Amino acid sequence: MTEQSIGAACERFVEWLDHEVLMVGRGDDVERLDVRPSSVFWLGRLATEDEVRRGQGDERAERLDPCAIGVRLRPAEPSPWSLRVTVRAQAWFQASKDDPDPDQRWRRLDPVEETVTVTGLDHDGEYGSEQLATAFRVVGADGLTAEVRVEVEDWHRTPELVVQLVNTSPEKIKGLDTHLFETRLTVEGLATVPFELEALPDSYRYDRQVPAYGINVGVEQPEPGVFATTDTVVAQSWRPDYWNSTHSRPDLRFAALADDPLPHLTALVDAVDEYDRQQWSAEILDTRAEAEDWTEPMRTAAAADAAKVFDELDRLREGLAALRDDATLRRAFCLMNDAMRVATEGRGYDSWRPFQIGFLLASVTFLTAPERSADVVDVVWFATGGGKTETYLGLLLTTAFHDRLTGKTHGITAWSRFPLRLLSLQQTQRFADALAGAERVRQDERVGGEPFSLGFFVGSNNTPNKIVPNGQQQHDGDVVAKKDVAVPYQVLLRCPFCRSESVTTRFDRRTWTLQHRCGNADCWWKRPALPFYVVDQEMYRFLPTVLVGTLDKAATIAHQQAMRGLVGAPYGVCTIPGHGFTYAKRGKTPYGCLVPDCQGGAPDPLPMPAERFGPALRLQDELHLLRDSLGAVDSHYESLLDFLQLQLCGSKPKIVGSSATLSGYERQIDVLYRRQARVFPQPGPRSGESFWTRSTDKPLRRYVAVAPRGVTLEHVNDRTLDTLQRSVRRLLTEPDEVCAAAGVDPRFARELVSLYGTDVVYGTALYDVTAAARSAESNLSVSGVGVEELTGQTAFDDVRGILNRLQHPEDDFGERVHVVAASSMLSHGVDVDRLNTMVMLGLPLSTAEFIQTTARVGRSFPGLVYVLHKIARERDAQTFRHFGPFVAQGDRFVEPIPITRRSRRVLDLTLPGLVAARTVMVQEPASKTRLTMVSWLRSYLHDIGATAESEAAAIAELLGFDADDPLHREQIESWFEEWFANLDDPAFDRKFPRDLSARTPMLSLRDVESSAPVFDDEEA
């Protein structure tokens, strides 16, 4: 007999866990209760038809506690029809007060199971009422009644039959709960044809056929021709394999590609070539079209997609040729692979997945021919958990090495941005680890330039804008340097060089920096401070190789002249070692150095040509979240960043993004960046299959859709968590019994406790999350449940502590985190292998959020996801109806991104910031004087002959508003007319240019929030 693997054990255990929850929801193993069962059970129950009619009477209310379950079928033959309907139900009665157990008077009766035969059906009818009433009377539930009700809907294109079990009992019967419990309906003996899924259009990739629809339930086919209702809807996803070719998988280990990438990459491209010809040639598509009865639009769509696939193949060939012909690019690529080898040592993997290296190969030509790709945004589209972050890192490190090898010794290579306000600490750590690996290789290979470094540039209340001396005036986001108190703002979870967790933070007064330091005396990095920055002004002073941060920080460019270093060159270098780059002179920074009270004098010149300072890459994660007003505002600031870098460096950066959806991505990219869009990898010829991936028979996640009946969602959440926790704890107290019941080898018991002992509760509303956390602490029957929250409101240090506890759980199970109540911050970049069970409080508002969030569980081991539908909501009800296809074809359900840059309201918000940034970054350097006062700005604009019309034309051009946008051009001109009127008004008494308009430039979200103090342990 084959020995069971941990994966197989997890699969069996997940099935057993789900069965335990299902039994608790229906009451399968409960014989007696102290309360009415209709107040306890939420699955398999039916209210009486009278009760439903007496209620509100609308469809939404009926879904909350229905009186019927059923199946909708499409007969294959014309009427009359015949079918057999098997009904199963359970009843509960209340014993007398002198019962031997008066505290548990409610008792479950024997089940009723009857088969009702329907023949000669050609119109609506009711069947089996007397048969079922007799059956209930026999088991002791006299008075309960039910019937099989069949409705013939002949107004459709082809007739449809709705077969239902209806509880026709009186609303009240003394001594009985008139609900029916553990109900089930089975229909057989009817030849049927499948439905076509209405929610989705025809596609040559996907099967739209649905055998039957459930009514208030799920429906399954235990065998051909048999349809049975289910109380939950289970959809299983399968773990992918990242190779789908008859060719042998090439050696894509980091070490092999660092040594000589060309043979291995040639083998990869050859395999892609063969697959594409076998799957996408015109002959193959014609054969499929005939065999699968494609429509003409489907064949046309396939031809268009085939053209994109062969274009992708051409780009792979071009990348291979570039590596072969350009020695510098090849060396940068080899160094990157060596850096990844170093960074991933001991991490459990040492190789690229084919799609990752494919993306790198298709993208590297932007380094040798930037003019060809600067106007194209490359979008990585792959399943969450497939390795998009490592793909980014490979491109980023290749670019960083290429920068160093071609003379860019300082400055930012890439600015990587995330939409959420709280950037994942784990994501940041992965960037830090990769850059540390690159720095070790850089030094070993004697590549010149500054050490590779990372900046944490965020827009929440996590890190400071700047550190000011004690006693100096503060602004929002500033912190004061004081003594004798511990320093906050630790971001790194461990040292990226030696992986020691002895990282601390310290403010160094000499260099005026907030430093992360490694306490390991044997660490490879020998300098006191790790090459990692968390203070905004330190980003400007040292221009780290890579910035990772939140999207909203871009708004700072209108307020902070030193953000010039993120799009162009600083003005110079301070003469005092450790002070960094200098910028425009201001009253408090007379020499342009950002260190308080610096006396360094006139700065030294820049260490390299100014045009090399512009970032080569702008990375945008989670593109699908850039929608609505956020996307509209960002589109204007993206244009501003492009404009400024073009003005200061003569070039635009390459933009790379990732997205959870391809729905409308081309338009979204056009709106955001005014560039063409290109996706990698192209979707394959069939759902779940391409050259880069195929599904295996190994389970990934078990999705369970639950439509609670008659009780609150909160009750169901509590009971689900209670069952999950109680079941896992039984592995500790009764390991042999549980393992036998689950079919699991007992040697895996402790590992299963670790993998399934922490449950995630996910809510889209903060109120739901906090309420779920409080309830888990107080309303579960198991004691000692440790609950933590992960939301945007969770303190920064607490987030780090919680993540550390999840990754390194306490030895004592009772001391661990057992429930994590989380909001959307969990759904992006939080990767913990121990998170494998989740309860969702309602269906998320967008399909993309559903995909992203559920991908946080089951990343390495089979996952279990309960989706508690708020069934009164129309969207939840519709999704429950076709939950299987919703999971299987989730990307097709993702809503197109609603976004526009042509919004008058948004333009009103962004105009002040666009004008302010242009003034400080472009006009002030041209003026060779300061333009920070209204009088100075007035003089300059008059000297160059600027008018409202000319300035408006410049901003309109920046935003891409041409003659086809007269409304927005007029709005800009009107704004500037008021602005110039204030500028030229002798009575205008404001000093600063930001006050020339009614609205001031937008602020970063963090800039209006308070920060904790930083203290200097050297201050006298």
* Widest Cα–Cα separation across the chain: 102
Q: With a cut of 90, say whether residue 469 has pLDDT above it.
A: no
Burial of 170 (0-12, 13-18, 19+ CB in 10 A): middle
Please state whether beta strands 478-482 and 689-690 pair in parallel, antiparallel, or not at all (unpaired). unpaired
CA–CA distance, 608 with 629 (Å, rounded to integer): 39
Whether the bond into 354 is cis, omega within 30 of 0: no
Residue 984, Cβ neighbours under 10 Å: how many? 11
Of residues 421, 420, 424, the one with CA closest to residue 460: 421
| Residues belonging to the chain | 1020
CA–CA distance, 250 with 232 (Å, rounded to integer): 43
Annotate 601-621 with three-state secondary structure. CCCECCCCCHHHHCCCEEEEC
**pLDDT (average), residues 799-808:** 88
Supply the pLDDT for residue 484.
Answer: 35
**pLDDT (average), residues 563-585:** 96
Q: What percent of the chain has pLDDT over 90?
A: 76
Q: Give ∠ CA 549-853-202 in degrees, rounded to 5.
A: 110
**pLDDT (average), residues 523-538:** 95
* pLDDT tens figures, 84-128: 999 999 999 999 888 888 888 999 999 999 999 999 999 999 999
CB 537 within 8 A of CB 507: no
CA–CA distance, 812 with 818 (Å, rounded to integer): 12
Supply the pLDDT for residue 461.
Answer: 59
Provide the token pair at 232.
Answer: 């939950």
Supply the pLDDT for residue 848.
Answer: 83
* pLDDT tens figures, 591-608: 999 999 999 999 999 999
Q: With a cut of 70, say whether residue 460 has pLDDT above it.
A: no
**CATH architecture of the domain with residue range 6-14+696-893:** 3-Layer(aba) Sandwich (3.40)
CB 904 within 8 A of CB 967: yes
Residue 99, Cβ neighbours under 10 Å: how many? 13
Provide the token pair at 289.
Answer: 């079209």
**pLDDT (average), residues 979-985:** 94
Residue 459 confidence class, pLDDT cut points 50, 70, 90: low
Supply the pLDDT for residue 170.
Answer: 95
CB 139 within 8 A of CB 168: no
CB 933 within 8 A of CB 920: no
Residue 897 confidence class, pLDDT cut points 50, 70, 90: confident
CA–CA distance, 571 with 605 (Å, rounded to integer): 8
* pLDDT tens figures, 338-350: 999 999 998 889 9
Q: With a cut of 70, say whether residue 4 has pLDDT above it.
A: yes
Whether the bond into 261 is cis, omega within 30 of 0: no
Q: With a cut of 50, say whether residue 251 has pLDDT above it.
A: yes
3-state secondary structure of 156: coil
Average pLDDT along the chain: 91
Please state whether beta strands 414-418 and 513-518 pair in parallel, antiparallel, or not at all (unpaired). unpaired
Q: With a cut of 60, say whether residue 831 has pLDDT above it.
A: yes
CA–CA distance, 847 with 844 (Å, rounded to integer): 7
Q: With a cut of 60, say whether residue 1011 has pLDDT above it.
A: no
Say which residue, 80 or 470, is predicted with more confidence: 80
Burial of 223 (0-12, 13-18, 19+ CB in 10 A): exposed
Most confidently predicted of 7-21, 656-670, 772-786: 7-21
Q: With a cut of 60, say whether residue 262 has pLDDT above it.
A: yes
Residue 907 confidence class, pLDDT cut points 50, 70, 90: very high
Please state whether beta strands 233-241 and 693-706 pair in parallel, antiparallel, or not at all (unpaired). antiparallel
Supply the pLDDT for residue 983.
Answer: 94
Residue 482 confidence class, pLDDT cut points 50, 70, 90: low
Alpha helices in 462-595 (DSSP H): 536-542
Supply the pLDDT for residue 1003.
Answer: 82
**pLDDT (average), residues 996-1015:** 58
Supply the pLDDT for residue 561.
Answer: 93
Q: With a cut of 90, say whether residue 386 has pLDDT above it.
A: no
* Contacts of residue 582, Cβ cutoff 8 Å, sequence gap at least 6: 570, 571, 572, 573, 574, 589, 591, 592, 593, 594, 603
Of residues 613, 632, 631, 635, the one with CA closest to residue 622: 631
Please state whether beta strands 478-482 and 146-153 pair in parallel, antiparallel, or not at all (unpaired). unpaired
Burial of 1000 (0-12, 13-18, 19+ CB in 10 A): middle
DSSP-derived secondary structure letter, 901: S
Q: With a cut of 90, say whether residue 799 has pLDDT above it.
A: no
CATH 3.40.50.300 domain extents, the chain: 6-14+696-893
**pLDDT (average), residues 500-514:** 92
Residue 57 confidence class, pLDDT cut points 50, 70, 90: low
CA–CA distance, 166 with 215 (Å, rounded to integer): 12
